[in-house]
Structure 1
Amino acid sequence: MSQLPPPVRRAQPQQQSAAAEDAVGFRPANKAGRKARISIQGVSGSGKTKTGLSIAWGLAEGERFGVIDTEHGAASLYAGDHGIQFDVLQMDRYDPRDLIKALEAAAKARYPVVKVDSLSHFWKGTDGTLDQVEKAASKYGGNSFAGWKDGTPLQNDMVAALLTFPGHVVATMRSQTEWVLQENARGRREPVMVGMRAEQRKGIEYEFDIAAEMDITNRLRFLKSRCPALHQQILERPDGARDIAKPVLDWLRSNPAQ
């Protein structure tokens, strides 16, 4: 199931029409209008839901934002915490096409930020991408590899909807977990739950401007950041609005002299 088909590479046209060439023009690059795309992955209890809400609140700058909740109302437990206000859409089935519809509804409602808590369900939850692949495989004699002919476009369309949402996006993801022996403060080895890669399609972190992971002590480490202020930073029990949202907004609003 984890073995995915190679991407289809389509040949590029050798020549463009004169009209198409005339329509192409370069212009000075800037970040005007660019919105943040942030992901947080972590094990259960690492604080990713609370931290993600704080980041979303900071990005929203005091406006209500939308939360697409797959975690049985977990996000709502933090409503009002530190003044955070948001509207929630509860989901219990996770067809990627339903996430696209939810994002369209959030865009229509003009939320400045949408938080997906969590994106992992749309990969391996009920009716998620992996379920869709299994269903499609029945058309190909039970061949799961062939089922990706249907599953891959669903996954790609969902990612495209996240990237084209007109506001900021904050997504949390569960981490695959393992127990490992680590030395504690007393010099004794003890089992500790650690997160491995995110429960989503391999390489999903490349789609985000900023990707971070949290551990069971609420320690956040940036795996990737296009925002220079956050690059390779490690934050202990971060305040998402102050420590993450603010530098991200400052970065997006800064432009080099033209």
Structure 2
Amino acid sequence: MASAPAILGTTSPLATDLHFRPAQRLARPARVLIEGAPGSGRTPAALALSAALGTRRAVIDTDGSANRRDSTGFNILELTSFAPDQLLSALYIAGSQRYEVVAIDSLSAWWSGRGGLLELVDQAAAAAGPKAEKNIGWIAMRPTERRMTDALAAFPGHVVATARSTTETLLEVVDGQTIPRQYALRPELRPGAESDFDVVLTMLPGHSILVRKSRVPNLPDGTIYSGESVLSGAAYTDMGAAILAWTRNGINLAPEDWYAAAQEPQATERQLIELELLLERTRMEGMAAREHDGTLCTLGDLVRNRIRIQREARERAEKEEAQERRRLERSQQPAGRTPPQYTNPETDWGAPAGAWPAPNAGWGSPAGTWPNPGADWNAAHGEDTSAAFGPEAESQGTAPGSEAVSRPQEIDAGDGDDDVQAVAGIVNRLMENDGWSDLTRVLRAAVRATELGVNGVRVPCADDQTRPLGEVLKARTAELKVPGS
């Protein structure tokens, strides 16, 4: 079965491991944006709605408005500069302390405030000089903007954010009098920022609220809550109940504490790989986190770094074990034999007679004159060991260095059913670029097979036998000596 063609030159492993799965609705926390003109009541609306969504509340205050309101029932963090790392740090602290809701008043500060994105873009453009590309400032700061957006989307609780709006003043006649009123046009955020939120509320004159965008079935677009219901709190009770019911309607795959799972000291390499796959599936990779040295990062990066560290430690241990095994083998040579003198088995292959030559050269013979170690020993000592070390043993999979687990063959799924198609994707991807010898890739294949429920599907192997896929992957994992498997 031919591998999938590269997409725009990408070499990502996902390009050849794409597959469809039955749709499932996942339970996720809500993201709510409240926009409005100055004085429209954004801050009290954010505090009231956050109270309707949870009891453990954290408020990130950028202009002191929240502290001038009823300050009971929540904890507050006041900021005066708005570098992107400040928002990431605040979200990490709120998430790691397991607040149910975080209210950000206002998110516009990280767009147009002191140290915000617009200021950083101007600084990057100025540093690049007048001859630089026109959009060089945005090119430099786009990754930072993406980190902020991902951290908001991956916060483990509900997010209620406010945003100042650009306004237009219109004259209206009320009871015979002409009154100027301000109407919100668009929030002071990056264009299209509303698409990152599940619900967008617009504050209208007279303290009424318009539901301008909603993914919540029981809170449809175009709903208007009157100023009376807003002031009495009934509007927030109604909105909160609808939003909570929507967020809880689905499968909850999240662990009790994402941070504890990622930092569990006893987590094995396999458990961390499973956590990485769960982060990808639930789109929580961008959650703000910190490395052990305090460096800001994403939770996905933290888990991947732990996998890399454990893999490197395992590979070092395996190398040391192999060196110790060779040392013991040399110390147990038959009496009367001169121990070979060498320091590096990888550079001493083909050494002159009397040293330790390559495995395909005889002990004490001119380099390269004997075909294999079994024949060498037989020729030197008159003993028949070919059954254990000769070519016949190679064909039986018992020679030194051979694989005890017969590798699966490439599968042409053709018009097979969904299980066959899924198994073909797993096996063919694993066989590319010697993935059979890569522990991490074998573990990923095992996790994918379990997730798709195809462990029992039989696959053809190199010894012309068919075996259940789960049995083959489990045996290969054990052969590669996986810690904690």
Q: Normalized against structure 2, the TM-score is what?
A: 0.46
Partner Cα distance (1:189, 1:17) in 2: 62
* Matched letter for residue 39 of structure 2: G
How many Å apart are 1:101 and its aligned residue? Answer: 1.1
How many Å apart are 1:11 and its aligned residue? Answer: 3.7
- Is 1:99 matched up with 2:87? yes
Partner Cα distance (2:103, 2:12) in 1: 42
Matching residue within 23, 37, 44 for 2:38: 44
Deviations 1:164-223 (A, max 9, x none): 00000000000112222223232x443222211001111110100000110231111011
* Matched letter for residue 79 of structure 2: M
- Is 1:140 matched up with 2:128? yes
Matching residue within 159, 184, 187 for 1:195: 184
How many Å apart are 1:253 and its aligned residue? Answer: 2.2
Matching residue within 56, 60, 63 for 1:64: 56
Please provide the CA RMSD for this pair. 2.4
Q: Which has the higher strand share?
A: 1
Q: Indicate how the Cα distance of structure 1 residues 179 and 57 shifts in structure 2: closer, same or farther if over 3 A, else same.
A: same
**2:277 matched residue in structure 1:** none
Q: Indicate how the Cα distance of structure 1 residues 108 and 184 shifts in structure 2: closer, same or farther if over 3 A, else same.
A: same
Deviations 1:70-122 (A, max 9, x none): 02x21123335xxx511001000011221011101111111011110000000
Partner Cα distance (2:37, 2:9) in 1: 42
- Is 1:215 matched up with 2:204? yes
The 3-state SS of whatever aligns with 1:106 is: helix
**1:20 matched residue in structure 2:** 17
The 3-state SS of whatever aligns with 1:229 is: coil
Partner Cα distance (2:166, 2:29) in 1: 28
Partner Cα distance (2:8, 2:82) in 1: 34
**1:248 matched residue in structure 2:** 243
Partner Cα distance (1:254, 1:54) in 2: 23
Partner Cα distance (2:86, 2:76) in 1: 15
The 3-state SS of whatever aligns with 2:122 is: helix
Matching residue within 65, 76, 86 for 1:74: 65
Q: Normalized against structure 1, the TM-score is what?
A: 0.84
**1:3 matched residue in structure 2:** none
1:42, 1:215 within 8 Å by CA — same for their partners in 2?
Answer: yes
Runs of 4+ off more than 4 Å: 12-19
Deviations 1:53-73 (A, max 9, x none): 11111111xx221111002x2
Matching residue within 38, 44, 54 for 2:48: 54
**1:224 matched residue in structure 2:** 213
**1:124 matched residue in structure 2:** 112
* Matched letter for residue 159 of structure 1: T
Partner Cα distance (1:136, 1:159) in 2: 20
Which stretch shifts more, 209-218 or 134-143?
A: 134-143
The 3-state SS of whatever aligns with 1:148 is: helix
How many Å apart are 1:15 and its aligned residue? Answer: 9.1
The 3-state SS of whatever aligns with 1:217 is: helix
**Could you say which structure has the larger radius of gyration?**
2
How many Å apart are 1:12 and its aligned residue? Answer: 7.4
Matching residue within 154, 169, 181 for 2:144: 154
1:130, 1:151 within 8 Å by CA — same for their partners in 2?
Answer: no
Deviations 1:10-48 (A, max 9, x none): 947499679734xx561441232x100000000111111
How many Å apart are 1:255 and its aligned residue? Answer: 4.8
The 3-state SS of whatever aligns with 1:26 is: coil
Q: Indicate how the Cα distance of structure 1 residues 157 and 16 shifts in structure 2: closer, same or farther if over 3 A, else same.
A: closer
Identity of aligned residues (%): 34
Q: Which has the higher helix share?
A: 2
1:177, 1:196 within 8 Å by CA — same for their partners in 2?
Answer: yes
* Matched letter for residue 152 of structure 1: R
Partner Cα distance (2:87, 2:136) in 1: 24
**Count of aligned positions:** 237
How many Å apart are 1:245 and its aligned residue? Answer: 1.0
* Matched letter for residue 239 of structure 2: I
Partner Cα distance (2:116, 2:200) in 1: 22
Partner Cα distance (1:235, 1:248) in 2: 15
Which stretch shifts more, 123-132 or 171-180?
A: 171-180
How many Å apart are 1:52 and its aligned residue? Answer: 0.8
Between 1 and 2, higher relative CO (CA 8 Å, sep ≥ 6) is seen in 1
Partner Cα distance (1:208, 1:124) in 2: 20
Partner Cα distance (1:11, 1:223) in 2: 38
The 3-state SS of whatever aligns with 2:135 is: helix
* Matched letter for residue 86 of structure 1: F
Q: Indicate how the Cα distance of structure 1 residues 26 and 136 shifts in structure 2: closer, same or farther if over 3 A, else same.
A: same
Q: Indicate how the Cα distance of structure 1 residues 12 and 103 shifts in structure 2: closer, same or farther if over 3 A, else same.
A: farther
The 3-state SS of whatever aligns with 2:191 is: coil
**1:5 matched residue in structure 2:** none
* Matched letter for residue 70 of structure 2: A
